[in-house]
Structure 1
């Protein structure tokens, strides 16, 4: 998702059009599973959400807060910045924040499993002097805003630079140390970053334990995974050949085995959350295209990078099996983008959730609003307001679409989105 992910997805959108299609497979409902009858329509408020990223300090905390100064000054700057953001979101009518609590192999809370995030202090494992997740929950709930803890399940670092390796190695003497040094046999390099190997059962158990720690200790309203499952790039693929030899017996292909691994993670996280706190919602925000119709008769009329084939995530199946309380596909294209039309995908997803109890929220590309684009000029017309209005109008006209999530928070504060933000305030604001 999320900026590097957006660029990666854009590259795949083009690459997937030129590559040979995979073997066609119409994914049926799993054996013995019947579609879940939909519940009667409820007059519940539409979700109006925003993703608030912490990776690379894209949205928060402020970069200036970690550039020298006292600990007290840093804490004050970070807390005030978060309160200012929440005040602004409240005035815009935002009712849910998806807060990135695990941007990589580090944490935004005092974890017994992960070291502290270097986003807070500049150094992995350094105690920031307060609990950001607790602070976020207290301040958001005070304003009537829900908080979903957003996890990137497999990313360990955003790059593989020598300085990053040195920083990770230094955690060996800390409690807890980074998974990079504690379980180095789990680590792979893919997409120019360090990641965990999803094919190792202990890795999936470890990720589940991290989610369980947050759900047990904090009054979060939900848990969300983003679209990084198998996050490769063509020039930097996950070297999981040995893992496949060890665990892949009985599968027709490595692709089927990888999808099974992702399925296993989703199943056990879903089950764990419901056992610990049934009221905490579990959702996933996948790439917008499940499969293209040219590859699969059940797919959408699109020509985009497909989660099923690129990330090895059978997102449609998770909805059918009732593993998710909600799904929030990232539909980051305008109505005029033929390869992946917004309306085509929104209606396709609405049909997927229709016979189930899984709610559908749509992820919108706020980061594109007001930005010049040769392929998507609509984002520039009248400050992007007409395109934004069309997308929101469609969301509110389709009964299965229960809300909208904007990617991402700091774009609410940029000059190019000023007209669009004014429009949002007039439409959603209190």
Structure 2
């Protein structure tokens, strides 16, 4: 706006910010040599994008680096991974807590994991609960933590000795052995579903997790059984003798479908704001769409992943689109667009992308391009999940490219409007200055409901900026003055706006402050 010749009051009625008015402040100083000019009081909307990485514990792929690692080393490695994600502006970690019907947490249902202590059923010594440790550390860094479970794998070939505590020993009637040495739950058994649901319910009720996550292992890949059919003859015979009329394939798919629906219902009945996500194989069926060829999960894994998305039995859907943009038969954007068309209930569609494509500039360009394509195709709820955290650590060029490119600015996780629409109350904010710094402090009438804070700030005649902080933070410090990058001119802090963000990503209205007034004014967050 153009400056009027007459002088206006110093703050020009900050209360009109409720209607998002733009006001002009008179020129003057704040007693420290800062001359203020006209400022538009429009705090920016913080970016929204799900930025997650998988951390696999099976076969010690990502953490811990080996079975039986000393507790201090386990914790050190965990914090290094979480510090990396925070520093590179990620906002979620998908942490594998049940790799083979075992637990990387204190469970009364299944034994401690071999991949943690080197002996299944043996607790860490000195004792600690790894999942609680990961949750606390992740939340302290403003990261969501999603507990990743393998629903049907009973024992992995790299899972150590099958001990007395293994489900292979305690539930032999529910598991079968595959030719490659794996043990697998029979998904058609009601008892299998009941056991897995008990594990899910236990995790949701006892732990402050942000999500439950399944990957693509439903019925096993054929290679696990030397390309022979899954050995569920006894269950199939029982079904047909009771008058079952479905084909064997439909019967298997029906068991998985029932389980997925029950998991979603169980999670929502316990804690509605805990998200449930699945990352199925990236192709539903060859020929869908017409140009796509490859593995048929519907016919071979008995996973009708399209149905789960169509029905809205998930809060987010992460098909594993591990192919390049120009891959003939499995093109990343072609597949993503098809899944978008199947998202009938408008759930989050955050594709899984393969971060390890050989390293180098081409690897970085491919991953950045896939992120940008996803943003363009899914602007209402942007996001990807990186498989896995390892390549991000292995290739500094890739990590730096993300941080300097699409992840340059911090981002909030997109809201899930079907879960909760109520916004948190506006925080109570004040500030003080000294030693060339502005110290902003805040509180909230219901602090347990706050997961993150967004502090927006604006220096004289400059664009707004913002910082996203974890929910446990109550203070943020800024320089009172900065030098403009283009002119070197000294700029003073002008306005501050603070919002509270709930567990569902819902954001409060602004608590607004001008640098020469410690009384906050509410502002609408549109």
State which of 321, 324, 335 in structure 2 corresponds to 1:345: 335
Equivalence for 2:81? 85
**Cα deviations across residues 343-375 of structure 1 (Å, max 9, x unaligned)?**
10011111111x3131100100013242xxxxx
Equivalence for 2:196? 207
Shift of 1:340: 0.6
Separation in 2, partners of 1:317, 1:43:
33
Equivalence for 1:292? 286
Q: Relative contact order, CA 8 A, sep 6+: which one is greater?
A: 1
Equivalence for 1:267? 261
Runs of 5+ unmatched residues, structure 2: 1-44, 411-526
State which of 386, 390, 393 in structure 1 corresponds to 2:365: 386
CA 43–269 in structure 1, closer or farther in 2 if over 3 Å, else same: farther
Separation in 1, partners of 2:293, 2:52:
28
**Cα deviations across residues 310-357 of structure 1 (Å, max 9, x unaligned)?**
21111111111121111100000001211211110011111111x313
> Contact between 1:300 and 1:348, CA under 8 Å: does it hold in 2?
no
Alignment of 1:4-403 (within 5 A): 45-63=48-66, 66=68, 74-128=70-124, 129-159=127-157, 164=160, 167-168=161-162, 170-171=163-164, 177-190=165-178, 192=180, 193-234=182-223, 235=226, 236-248=228-240, 249-293=243-287, 299=289, 301-353=291-343, 355-370=344-359, 382-399=361-378, 402-403=382-383
Separation in 1, partners of 2:307, 2:384:
22
Shift of 1:215: 0.2
What SS does the corresponding residue of 2:93 show, helix, strand or coil? Answer: strand
> Contact between 1:190 and 1:233, CA under 8 Å: does it hold in 2?
no
> Contact between 2:356 and 2:363, CA under 8 Å: does it hold in 1?
no
Separation in 1, partners of 2:235, 2:352:
34
**Cα deviations across residues 43-71 of structure 1 (Å, max 9, x unaligned)?**
872100000000011100122x726xxxx
> Contact between 2:323 and 2:330, CA under 8 Å: does it hold in 1?
yes
Q: TM-score, normalised by structure 2?
A: 0.65
Higher strand share: 2
Equivalence for 1:13? none
Shift of 1:151: 0.3
Separation in 2, partners of 1:364, 1:150:
17
Question: Which structure 1 residue ranges, 4+ long, deviate > 6 Å from structure 2?
Answer: none
> Contact between 2:100 and 2:150, CA under 8 Å: does it hold in 1?
yes
**Cα deviations across residues 245-266 of structure 1 (Å, max 9, x unaligned)?**
1135434311111100110110
Separation in 1, partners of 2:313, 2:304:
12
Separation in 1, partners of 2:47, 2:362:
31
CA 286–191 in structure 1, closer or farther in 2 if over 3 Å, else same: farther
**Cα deviations across residues 140-167 of structure 1 (Å, max 9, x unaligned)?**
0000000000000111111289xx4xx3
> Contact between 2:222 and 2:300, CA under 8 Å: does it hold in 1?
no
Separation in 2, partners of 1:191, 1:61:
28
CA 45–300 in structure 1, closer or farther in 2 if over 3 Å, else same: farther
**Cα deviations across residues 279-318 of structure 1 (Å, max 9, x unaligned)?**
111110000001122xxxx545300112212211111111
Shift of 1:385: 1.9
**Cα deviations across residues 214-273 of structure 1 (Å, max 9, x unaligned)?**
000001000011000001325154201111111354343111111001101101111111
Runs of 5+ unmatched residues, structure 1: 1-41, 68-73, 172-176, 371-379
CA 387–232 in structure 1, closer or farther in 2 if over 3 Å, else same: closer
Higher helix share: 1
State which of 399, 403, 419 in structure 2 corresponds to 1:425: 403
